[in-house]
Structure 1
Amino acid sequence: MIQLYKKREFGELFSDTFAFLRQTGKHFYKNYFLINGAFILVLMVLAYFFMKVYTSLLATSQGPINPDATIENYFNDNALLIVIFMAVFALVAVFVTFITYIYTPVYMLLYAKKGAADFTTKDIVNTLKKNTGKLFIYFFASMLISLAVFLGGGIAILILFVTGIGIFLIPLVVAVITLSYNNAFMEYLDSGKGIFNCFEYGLQLTFKRFWVSAGCVALFYFMIQIIQGIMTLIPYLVGIFSVFTSSSSLGSDPDESMGILLTIMLVFYVLSFLLGLVGNTVVQMNQGIVYFSLKEENENINTASVIDQIGTSGD
């Protein structure tokens, strides 16, 4: 089993992230989808109905009536239903995002305490319930701090984007921000420190070995984005190609054409969404490995534990 509290160099942060994913992947994603799977399914169903209604409106508006007017009339006639639908969609989406964000840190902290993936879905859920108060405090504090962080980060990203070559440094800015937040979150869950002390500590850890830690996370972001882009671009291009090469059927049977378009959109959405969720958890695994490595280097937790065990065995 992989040891989390361990000093690591750049290459080890990569190899240990993949080692953790390889050793715990089945257990990790099984519990993730048991906890969050139902809400992900609901989100996809809601997205399906939204796209189905929209494409149906586009199909029925292929006539003398202005398409924009047809869609506008539909929204005006069903305003209450649409508001309820969008509210439910937003709530489910926020909940899925919330669980996705907190799941990986909680899982890795449990793994660190147990020394292995020797815990159940119930243990994870109980840990989430036990830390409900801390979770809300963390997110409220995050929103307050984010006002300044995202303003500064946004300006930095804009400058990098304008300079052209700086575009390649944008993942580094994102990595610094997200790693600092993740360090603070894991420290807050795992210690009795105050929330703002944890944010200060998280930032301190990020800059302790800046190019090693932030650079590693930035490369993970870059890799995940490339993989996700390629995997989602393939069905999208296939769909566009099939629409343009079947122009004869578009005029004869618009309903069938819209059905094909809807299927393509659904495939694109499902692949993009699921890959996004999985990709985010992998990046968070890497951030967790970085956190445990920096914390060990800063506090010598594992070294002290080994010394204590030697002293106990000597008695």
Structure 2
Amino acid sequence: MIQFYKKRDFGTFISDSFNFFKLYGKNYFKNYILINGLLLILMVTVFIFGYKELFSQIFGSNLGGDTYYFERYFSENAGMLIGVGVLTFLLFMILAIINYLYPVFYLKRVANGAKNIKADEILGDFKENIGKIAKLCLGMTFIVIPLSLFVIGFSYLLILVLIGIFLIMIVYPTLFNVITFLMYDYFNSGRGFMESLSRSIRSQFSYPNGSEKSPFWKYWGASFVMFIIMSLVSSVFTYIPMIFFYSSVLTNTPDGNFEQNPFTGAFGVAFFVFYGISMLLSFFLSNLLYVNAGLMYYDSRTDLHQKVELEEIDTIGINE
């Protein structure tokens, strides 16, 4: 069993994240698939067939010499494109909410001593907190996301003076930590949205008592390493279709057909299937990031560390 409310160092965040899945992975992903599986399949299906069609039109040449080929295509298929776009957006939003909050509710239950957690219990947590989830979405849309985009945009501008490259490497994991801490704190404490947001920002730089060493670099480092692991694993399925694509271009005898529309036929389907698998894998691997961030959040809750330790001592005394 993993102790959640305790201080951890950089290496312990990484090792305990993997240990968590060794202990709870089977139950965790079983419930994750039960809750999220259908949405993931729909999302990948829309991606494969919707974007295959879109890219086919982008890369397909205009055999008839019509200058307004793309304008005509989009005007004739405006309804389908809008429908696919709206469906993709809605699916992505629902997936984002579940993907972010599922680890929050699961870890909350495990931290409180639950063992064999069921999907119905997690769904019950979603239903019970539907009002807070709505407020969270509004706060994210109108406060957190605009501020994040401003910070990211400013960092990209600083690339012109080189410092922006290093700043971006710091900003992305830090923003991820702030947002994830916000969600953990919002649903694990009695604080409101703005109070949890304030605490999630302050937690990146100092512990509540203010007398201990800043946890910023160990939080940043743990998230950065997890980002690298996730990117390396998921990119395998991204590079495979690209290798086949360029191999076909470089080794096959040009006949005009493949160059006109490389995404037609079996190759086009295989190309986007691999990208769909990469997307699916990214969703699953993202849980490693969220669990790791959860351990960091519990590390920051030093106000509860001593309380939990005393409760464990009392439990040992009762058992004896």
Contact 2:6 2:299 in 1 (8 A): yes
Is 1:245 the equivalent of 2:251?
A: yes
> Displacement of 1:89 after TM fit?
2.2
* Range with greater deviation from structure 2 (291-300 or 251-260): 251-260
Q: 1:247 aligns to what SS in structure 2?
A: coil
Q: Distance in 1 between matches of 2:149 and 2:32?
A: 29
Which structure 1 residue ranges, 5 or more long, are not aligned?
none
**1:104·1:284 contact (CA, 8 Å) conserved in 2?**
yes
**CA 19–228 in structure 1, closer or farther in 2 if over 3 Å, else same:** same
Give the 3 Å change call, closer, same or farther, for CA 282–139 of structure 1 in structure 2. same
Letter in 1 for 2:96: T
Tell whether the 8 Å contact from 2:152 to 2:168 is kept in structure 1 after alignment: no
Residues 56 and 264 in structure 2, CA contact (< 8 A), matched pair in contact too? yes
Pick closer, same or farther for the CA change 1:195–1:165 going to 2, 3 Å. Answer: closer
Tell me the residue number matched to 1:268: 274
When structure 1 is superposed on structure 2, of 287-296 and 47-56 the one drifting more is 47-56
2:287 — aligned with what? 281
Q: Distance in 2 between matches of 1:205 and 1:264?
A: 45
Asked whether the equivalents of residues 4 and 292 of structure 1 are also in contact (C-alpha less than 8 Å), the reply is yes
CA distance in 1, matches of 2:308, 2:258: 70
Q: Per the alignment, do residues 244 and 260 of structure 1 end up closer, same or farther by CA in structure 2, a change over 3 Å counting?
A: farther
In structure 2, the residue matched to 1:151 is 150
SS in 2 for 1:114: coil
How far did 1:22 drift?
2.2
1:255 to partner: Cα distance? 8.3
The residue that corresponds to 2:211 in the other structure is none
Q: In 1, Cα distance between the equivalents of 2:235 and 2:278?
A: 8
Q: Deviations over 1:194-230 (max 9, x none)?
A: 2222112222222121111222212222332233334
TM-score, structure 1 normalization: 0.86
In structure 2, the partner of 1:106 is 105
Q: Structure 2 vs 1, CA of residues 144 and 60 (structure 1 numbering), >3 Å: closer, same or farther?
A: closer
- 2:118 corresponding residue in structure 1: 120
Structure 1 equivalent of residue 39 of structure 2: 39
CA 166–304 in structure 1, closer or farther in 2 if over 3 Å, else same: farther
Higher relative contact order (CA 8 A, sep 6+): 2
Say if 2:237 and 2:275, in contact at 8 Å, map to a contact too.
Answer: no
Structure 2 Cα separation of the partners of residues 240 and 264 of structure 1: 14
The yes-or-no answer on 1:48 pairing with 2:54 is no
Kindly provide the amino acid, as one letter, of the partner of residue 47 in structure 2: A
2:42 and 2:65 map into 1 onto residues whose CA distance is 34
2:237 & 2:76 partners in 1: Cα distance? 39
Instruction: Report how many residues are paired.
Output: 311
Q: Secondary structure at the match of 2:204?
A: helix
**Counterpart Cα distance in 1 of 2:197 and 2:61:** 53
Match of residue 14 from structure 2? 14
- Equivalent position SS for 2:205: helix
Q: Letter of the 2:290 partner, please give it.
A: Q
* Structure 2 stretches lacking a partner, 5+ long: 207-214
**Measured at CA, do residues 89 and 148 of structure 1 come closer, stay the same or move farther in structure 2, by a change above 3 Å?**
closer
**1:224 paired to 2:230:** yes
Q: 1:212 aligned to 2:218?
A: yes
CA distance in 2, matches of 1:235, 1:145: 38
**Aligned CA distance change for structure 1 residues 232 and 301 (closer, same or farther; 3 Å):** farther
Q: Does the 8 Å contact 1:108/1:288 carry over to 2?
A: yes
RMSD after superposition? 2.8
Say if 2:232 is the partner of 1:234.
no
Shift of 1:75: 2.0
In 2, Cα distance between the equivalents of 1:231 and 1:305?
47
1:124 maps to a residue whose letter is I
Partner amino acid for 1:305? E
Q: Distance in 2 between matches of 1:251 and 1:154?
A: 41
Question: Contact 1:31–1:121 at 8 Å: present in 2 too?
Answer: yes
Q: 1:5·1:292 contact (CA, 8 Å) conserved in 2?
A: yes
Q: CA 1:256–1:282 in 2, change beyond 3 Å: closer, same or farther?
A: closer
1:171–1:219 Cα contact (<8 Å) kept: no
| Counterpart Cα distance in 2 of 1:9 and 1:114 | 23
- SS where residue 301 of structure 2 aligns? helix
Structure whose residues are more often helix by fraction: 1
Change in 2 beyond 3 A, CA 1:265/1:211: same
Report the AA paired with residue 211 of structure 1.
W
Go from structure 1 to structure 2 and tell me whether the alpha carbon gap of 1:23 and 1:38 turns closer, same or farther (over 3 Å shift): same
- How big is each residue's C-alpha offset from its partner over 1:208-257, in whole Å with a ceiling of 9 and x where there is no partner? 21111222212222332233334421332123212432235654998897
Distance in 2 (CA, whole Å) between partners of 1:142 and 1:301 is 32
Q: Would the aligned equivalents of 1:176 and 1:214 in 2 still touch at CA under 8 Å?
A: yes
Q: 2:55·2:263 contact (CA, 8 Å) conserved in 1?
A: no
